C-alpha cells in the first residue's frame, strides 16, 4: 500500500432480509493501530447494500489486514414463501422500476436480444395464453439449455449480456445477466444477487469464490428466486432452482453499477463481493488478496 496517502477500504457485509439473519461477530483490522483510523458500517442508498468502510488519512505503506466474522442463519425461500399479489406502495413501485432498467453490462430492449426472445415465444403453443409467468419460465429454460457453464479464455465472468449472447458460455454472472436482460426487456423486473456458496456436504472448509443468482417479480407471486447456472451444473435439480433458493449460500449484495457512498470516487463497481480499496480517490491497482472460509453450526 502506498505510504502517506488517503485510503478508503470497503468490505461487503451480508444483508439482513427474510432469507437470512446476520450477526456481525467481529471485524478486526491492522489499521486499528493507526490513531487516525476510522471505521463504520455504512449502507449505499440505491440497493441497500451494507459495507464496512475504513478511512485512513495517512498510512505507513504496510499491508492492510481486515478479518470479518459473521454468524448467518439461512432460511429456505421458495414458491410457498413468496409475497402474494397485493397493492404496492410507492417505495415498492420505485423498486420495481429500478429493476427494469439497463445496467452498463446488462442490456435492455437491445436488438441482440430479439432473436432469443423470438425463439422463446415461438416455443409456446398457439392456443397458450402467454403471460409473465410463461415468459419467465421460457427464459429460464432457454438460458439453461443454450448457455454453457465454463471458464475458458478471457471475457467471461463480467456479467455481460453481449458476451453471453455471442459466446454462449460463462459463469453465473453471465447466465444471470442474460436472464435479467431478457426478463427486463419483457417488462419483468429482475434483480441480481451475489454472495458465497456454502457446501452442504462438508461441515467446514474454504470457499473458492463467489456465486450469484437472481429474483424476478410477477404480481401473482412477488419476488421469485431462480438459479440458472446451478440448474445447468446440477440438471437433476433443475426444477428446484426455479422457484426455490436453498440455504447453501450467503447473500452479500444486490445490484450492479454500485457506488459505495460519497467516499467512493472512482468508477462504479460492476458488482461488489470482494474488498474494494481506493487510494487518493483512485482504485488501488495493486493486489487485494481475499480468503473465505465457513463453519456450519
Residues 6+ apart with CB under 8 A from 199: 205, 248
pLDDT the model gives residue 166: 96
What is the pLDDT at residue 297? 86
Residues 283 and 153 both lie in one domain: no
SS3 of residue 112 by DSSP: helix
Task: State the CATH number of the domain containing residue 88.
Answer: 3.10.620.30
CA distance 4 to 260: 23
CB neighbours of 183 closer than 8 A, spacing ≥ 6?
135, 136, 139, 189, 190, 216
- Under DSSP, is residue 229 helix (H, G, I), strand (E, B) or coil? helix
Geometric angle at alpha carbon 173, from 95 and 170, rounded to 5°: 150
Q: Residues 29, 170: one domain? A: no
Residue 139 lies in a domain: yes
Residue 32's pLDDT band (cuts 50, 70, 90): confident
Residue whose C-alpha cell is 410463461: 134
Average pLDDT over residues 49-71: 91
- Rounded distance between C-alpha atoms, residue 180 and residue 196, angstroms: 20
Question: Is 170 part of any domain?
Answer: yes
Mean of the per-residue pLDDT values of the chain: 93
Please provide the size of the chain in residues: 297
Question: Which range of residues forms the domain containing residue 40?
Answer: 7-74+257-295
- Both 165 and 214 in a single domain? yes
Counted domains in the chain: 2
Residue finishing a domain among 224, 246, 268: 246
Q: Domain for residue 2, yes or no?
A: no
The answer to whether position 132 is within a domain reads yes
Handedness of CA 133, 135, 136, 137 (dihedral sign): positive
- 46 confidence band (pLDDT: 50, 70, 90): very high
Does the pLDDT at position 71 exceed 90? yes
In a domain, 24, yes or no: yes
Alpha helices by DSSP H, listed for 147-291, are: 161-167, 172-185, 228-233
pTM: 0.93
- Whole-number Cα distances in Å, 153 to 64, 168, 178, 294: 32, 13, 19, 30
Same domain, 220 and 290: no
Q: Are residues 134 and 265 in the same domain?
A: no
The C-alpha atoms of residue 144 and residue 179 are separated, in whole angstroms, by 10
Is 273 inside a domain boundary? Answer: yes
Q: How far is CA 219 from CA 101, 205, 215, 228, 297, in A?
A: 18, 40, 13, 21, 37
Tens digits of per-residue pLDDT, 269-285?
A: 999 999 999 999 999 98
Is 48 found in the same domain as 193?
A: no
**Domain match, 106 and 122 both:** yes
**Confidence (pLDDT) at 220:** 86
On whether both 157 and 186 belong to a single domain, the answer is: yes
pLDDT tens readout for residues 107-144: 999 999 999 999 999 999 888 788 999 999 999 999 99
**Assigned domain for 1 exists:** no
Same domain? 65 vs 88 = no
Q: Are residues 197 and 263 in the same domain?
A: no
Residue 26 burial (C-beta neighbours within 10 Å; 0-12, 13-18, 19+)? exposed
Residues 88 and 68 in one domain: no
pLDDT of residue 2: 61
Residues 190 and 233 placed together within one structural domain of the fold: yes
Say if 184 falls within a structural domain: yes
Amino acid at each position: 500500500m502506498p505510504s502517506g496517502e488517503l485510503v478508503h477500504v470497503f468490505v461487503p457485509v451480508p444483508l439482513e432480509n427474510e432469507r437470512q439473519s446476520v450477526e456481525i461477530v467481529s471485524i478486526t483490522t491492522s489499521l486499528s493501530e493507526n490513531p487516525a483510523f476510522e471505521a463504520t458500517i455504512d449502507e449505499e442508498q440505491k440497493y441497500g447494500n451494507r459495507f464496512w468502510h475504513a478511512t485512513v488519512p495517512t498510512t505507513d505503506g504496510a499491508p492492510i489486514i481486515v478479518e470479518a466474522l459473521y454468524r448467518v442463519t439461512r432460511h429456505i425461500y421458495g414458491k410457498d414463501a413468496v409475497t402474494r399479489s397485493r397493492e404496492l406502495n410507492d417505495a415498492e413501485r420505485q423498486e420495481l422500476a429500478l429493476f427494469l432498467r439497463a445496467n452498463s453490462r446488462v442490456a435492455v430492449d437491445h436488438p441482440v436480444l430479439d432473436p432469443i426472445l423470438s425463439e422463446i415465444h415461438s416455443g409456446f403453443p398457439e392456443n397458450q395464453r402467454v403471460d409473465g409467468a410463461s415468459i419467465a419460465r421460457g427464459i429460464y429454460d432457454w438460458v439453461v439449455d443454450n448457455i454453457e457453464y465454463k471458464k475458458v479464455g478471457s471475457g467471461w465472468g463480467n456479467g455481460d449480456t453481449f458476451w453471453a449472447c455471442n459466446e454462449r458460455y460463462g459463469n453465473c454472472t453471465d447466465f444471470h445477466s442474460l436472464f435479467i436482460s431478457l426478463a427486463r426487456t419483457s417488462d419483468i423486473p429482475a434483480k441480481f444477487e451475489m454472495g458465497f456458496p456454502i457446501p452442504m456436504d462438508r461441515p467446514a472448509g474454504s470457499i473458492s469464490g463467489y456465486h450469484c443468482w437472481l429474483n424476478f417479480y410477477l404480481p401473482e407471486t412477488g419476488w421469485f428466486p431462480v438459479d440458472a447456472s446451478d440448474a445447468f451444473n446440477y440438471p437433476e435439480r433443475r426444477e428446484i432452482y426455479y422457484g426455490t433458493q436453498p440455504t447453501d449460500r450467503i447473500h452479500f449484495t444486490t445490484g450492479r453499477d454500485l457506488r459505495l457512498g460519497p467516499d467512493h470516487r472512482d468508477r462504479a463497481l460492476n458488482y461488489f463481493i470482494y474488498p474494494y480499496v481506493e487510494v487518493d480517490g483512485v482504485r488501488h491497482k495493486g493486489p487485494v488478496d481475499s480468503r473465505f472460509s465457513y463453519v456450519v453450526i
